[in-house]
Each structure stands twice: as structure tokens, then as C-alpha cells.
Amino acid sequence: MRQIDTATSTTTKPTPPAEGSAGWFQDNELSGGTIVPAWFLNSLQDEAINVIDGAGLTPEKDDDTQLYQAIALMINALDTEYIAIASGTIALTQDSTGTYNYVIADFAGAGLDTDNIRTLHVECICTTTASSSFVYADFDGTQSVICKSRATGGDDYTGTALVANIPINPGQSSIDLRINIQNQTSADEASFKIIGATQRVVL
């Protein structure tokens, strides 16, 4: 939606007349039908444009869904809450390729409503002391990031953590977590921990 910009429109908003009694529109094809004044149309236009602007969108003439988009954006921003989760470190198992991986089969057990969860916050911890190691973490196939890396003779990785915010689909109750470490010596060198979630508030 965009404000009217025809040749007969004005760039200065007219001052509305004094308020009268509240009423309703009425039909009459010949006489007595309600005349729609410019101030009323300007008011409707401004109400819609203010919502679109308030959501951070740029009004566009060829997009008739912007009011809907703006309302959806503001609802999503207002009716969510962060839930801290006290979770123990998740042990990792090693697959045939040498990648340590773990599948969380059910995070609903942590008190999350899987129909309304938006984001899962997971912490990745690597503690390898092997030289020339290259480490990355893959969260449910949606994000591959360098967790840590060092050259031969560098410092150990102990104590460094990476937190990922993983989008969750409605109804999803499991997630696949993987860490790959070159030159790893044991599965104890990497772990995951759920630290919280962003969940839609059910009103």
C-alpha cells in the first residue's frame, strides 16, 4: 500500500472539520446518499500507513499485503517469551565418518510446547587439545559454523562455547546436532547443551 499520489492529490494534509455526531453510511442512488469526504479517506489511509511504517516496512504501491505483513510482524515480536532451561550436557556418540553427533529425540520433555516453540538456543562446547584441529558445528542441518580452530602449538579449546539460535517448525520435537573435529582423540572433546528457547505465548 502507498499513499495516493495522483495529479489532483495534495502534498499538504487538509485540516479535518469540527467533529459532528458519530454516524453510519447510507445508500441512495438519486439523492441523500452519504458523501465520502477527503478527510475521512485521509484518516483511513493514515491508519493503514502508520501500521506499515511502524513495522519497519516501506510502503509499496503494487503490494496489497503490507498491512497484513505489518500486523504479523508486530504480533510475532510481542507475544513471545524466552524460557531458560536447566539442561545437563548431552553426551556425543561417534559415527562411522568420525563426526561426533547426537540427536535430541524429544526436547518437549524440557517443558516446551512443541506447537508454539519458535527458537531453540543450544550451546556447543569443544575442549580438544589436538594440534592443527579444525572444528565446526552443524545444528539440524540449518547452520554450519566454525566453532574453533587453531594451528599446531596453539592454545587448547577448553572453556570456549558457541551458542546457536535454531529456528524450530511448529510441531517439531527433535533436532539433529553434530560436531566435527579433525584430529580428535575422544568424544569427550565436544558436547551440546540446551540453554533456553523462545516460545509463543498462548493467550
Task: Read off the pLDDT of residues 80-99 as tens digits, 9 standing for 90 and up.
Answer: 777 777 666 777 777 766 77
Select the more confidently predicted residue: 72 or 87: 72
Select the more confidently predicted residue: 32 or 147: 32
Instruction: Check whether residue 36 and residue 94 sit in a common domain.
Output: no
Which range is least confidently modeled, 88-92, 140-144, 195-199?
Answer: 140-144
Please identify, among 44, 78, 112, the residue that sits at the C-terminal boundary of a domain: 78
pTM of the model: 0.51
Burial 53-89 (b: 16+ CB within 10 A, else e): eebebeeeeeeeebbeebeebeeeeeebeeeeeebee
Instruction: Check whether residue 42 and residue 90 sit in a common domain.
Output: no
pLDDT at residue 154, rounded to an integer: 42
The pLDDT of 175-180, averaged and rounded, is: 76
**What is the extent of the structural domain holding 112?**
81-200
User: Which CATH number belongs to the domain containing residue 173 in this structure?
Assistant: 2.60.120
